[in-house]
């Protein structure tokens, strides 16, 4: 994977550390190629295909970041990419797909329609389907962000990630299990799309009736490949309100001087909400991406 991804920087802020009385390091996947950790999983998944499979192309459905990741990874490997996107996906993410020569097929903004449309394209084109989060090779690719973080900061007590479809947190949980001594993994999730939180309680994959959250990358559900990993290796999930997400996002923009999207702010919002839990600990946070519409900021 190394020729296809960036080894992203790890940043910290003494001001943010003082706010929570902890040592926080941020793994900045907003500096990843195409602007999000999704490049890792997409590159690994396409590299894992046979030459014959690559010639028939790949198809995925995504609200934006995985769409761009598959498009870019496919472009670099000379593979045709068909991208099913909900019609309300941010324009900045649609533009990214087109820049990387992905072919967009728009559909209604429901998980069922996305899957149905991708399945149709898969049959018509003979393309290999790459799920954004519920795919083994995608999960393994995603795990490399936490592996890099643990190589640089081996003394972490906990790593937090956002949780949407479950592809990042399951990869992170595997990385922490196999590449650290005793590092816990905690998920941050919007209250308005708390299916993962409820899934851990019920023991089965839950869905959301509505996904009215600013964290547009976290509006998806867990899958049967990542949910068992999450059940086994993720310590807990902390839910946060919309105003807490916006506040955390603004603090990172102001203090770290970097651009992140709302989904990336969710785990930091979880730390701010539960300061006592993280007091005096070495905390790693994976900032999942920076593909934000700067003309439509919440602050």
Q: Give mean pLDDT, residues 24-30.
A: 98
Work out the mean pLDDT of the chain and round it to a whole number.
95
Of the residues 33, 62, 63, 143, only one is catalytic, namely: 63
Q: Give mean pLDDT, residues 112-141.
A: 96
99-133 burial, b for 16+ CB within 10 Å, e for fewer?
ebebbeeebeeebeebeebbeebbeeeebbebbbb
- Asked about 119 being catalytic, the answer comes back as no
pLDDT recorded at residue 217: 86
Other beta carbons within 10 Å of 275: 12
Which of 235, 250, 251, 195 lies closest to 218 in space, CA to CA? 195
pLDDT recorded at residue 230: 98
- Asked about 50 being catalytic, the answer comes back as no
Of the residues 38, 93, 94, 170, only one is catalytic, namely: 38
Judge whether residue 293 has pLDDT over 90: no
Q: Give mean pLDDT, residues 15-42.
A: 97
Q: Give mean pLDDT, residues 148-165.
A: 98
Confidence of residue 141 (pLDDT cuts 50, 70, 90): very high
Judge whether residue 63 has pLDDT over 80: no
Judge whether residue 291 has pLDDT over 90: no
Q: Give mean pLDDT, residues 182-196.
A: 97
Least confident of 177-186, 208-217, 246-255: 208-217
pTM of the model: 0.94
Q: At what angle do helices 38-47 and 65-77 cross, to 10 degrees?
A: 40
Question: pLDDT tens for residues 74-108?
Answer: 999 999 999 999 888 878 778 889 999 999 999 99
3-class DSSP assignment, residue 206: coil
Q: Which residues contact 130 (CB under 8 A, 6 or more apart)?
A: 42, 45, 46, 58, 59, 60, 66, 70, 138
Confidence of residue 210 (pLDDT cuts 50, 70, 90): confident
279-295 burial, b for 16+ CB within 10 Å, e for fewer?
eebbbbbbbbbbbbeee
pLDDT recorded at residue 96: 87
Percent of the chain residues past pLDDT 70, beyond the cut: 100
């Amino acid at each position: 994977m190394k020729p296809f991804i960036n080894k992203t920087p790890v940043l910290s802020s003494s001001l943010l550390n003082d706010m929570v009385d902890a040592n926080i390091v941020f793994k900045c996947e907003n500096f990843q190629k195409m602007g999000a950790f999704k490049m890792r999983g997409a590159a690994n998944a396409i590299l894992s295909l046979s030459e014959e499979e690559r010639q028939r192309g790949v198809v995925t459905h995504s609200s934006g970041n995985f769409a761009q990741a598959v498009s870019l990874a496919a472009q670099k490997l000379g593979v045709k990419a068909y991208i099913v996107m909900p019609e309300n996906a941010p324009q900045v993410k649609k533009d990214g797909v087109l820049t990387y020569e992905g072919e967009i097929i728009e559909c209604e903004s429901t998980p069922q329609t996305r899957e149905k449309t991708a399945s149709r394209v898969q049959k018509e084109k003979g393309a290999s389907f790459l799920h954004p989060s519920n795919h083994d090779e995608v999960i393994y690719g995603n795990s490399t962000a936490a592996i890099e973080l643990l190589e640089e900061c081996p003394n972490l007590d906990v790593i937090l990630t956002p949780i949407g479809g479950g592809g990042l947190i399951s990869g992170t949980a595997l990385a922490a299990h196999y590449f650290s001594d005793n590092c816990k993994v905690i998920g941050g999730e919007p209250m308005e799309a708390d299916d993962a939180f409820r899934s851990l309680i019920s023991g089965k994959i839950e869905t959301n009736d509505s996904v009215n959250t600013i964290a547009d990358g976290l509006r998806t559900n867990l899958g049967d490949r990542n949910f068992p990993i999450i059940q086994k290796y993720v310590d807990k999930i902390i839910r946060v309100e919309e105003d807490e997400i916006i506040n955390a996002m603004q603090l990172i923009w102001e203090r770290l001087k970097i651009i992140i999207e709302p989904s990336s702010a969710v785990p930091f919002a979880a730390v701010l909400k539960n300061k006592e839990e993280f007091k005096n600990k070495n905390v790693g946070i994976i900032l999942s991406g920076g593909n934000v519409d700067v003309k439509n900021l919440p602050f």
